[in-house]
Amino acid sequence: MALLTLGTNATTSLSSMLVSGAMTAADIAAYQVLIKDDLTNTNPIIPASFSQQRLLYIPNRGVLHVRPGDYVAVDSATGWPILISAKAIASGPYTHS
């Protein structure tokens, strides 16, 4: 199997959140409604999709521990969560606000 490249078609196709100690309940709630189940992606997974304890639920896959400085992005078309580590965001070819 060969390695492939991956990117987005537009710079606005992902919504993201910088995970830090200053995340408010309102920030987390706003983000939770974006994450959807990939098998039945019409329904947001609330409240279990992301927690104040920095746990990211990947629908039908498992739970990831998110560390400060990481970015959690969500695909706007499907609601699929994407975790990008702090080191990857700092040294990779990513543009973020």
Q: Is the predicted pLDDT of residue 62 greater than 80, yes or no?
A: yes
Per-residue pLDDT at 8: 66
Q: What is the mean pLDDT of residues 37-63?
A: 81
Q: Is the predicted pLDDT of residue 49 greater than 80, yes or no?
A: yes
In which band, very low, low, confident or very high, does the pLDDT at 59 lie, cut at 50, 70 and 90? confident
Q: What is the mean pLDDT of residues 28-32?
A: 85
Strand order in the sheet with 71-75: 14-18, 71-75, 81-84
In which band, very low, low, confident or very high, does the pLDDT at 66 lie, cut at 50, 70 and 90? very high
Q: What is the mean pLDDT of residues 29-46?
A: 79
- Which helix or strand (DSSP H or E) is residue 58 part of? strand 55-58
Q: Which residues of 38-50 are buried (b: 16+ CB within 10 A; e: fewer)?
A: eeebeeebeeebb
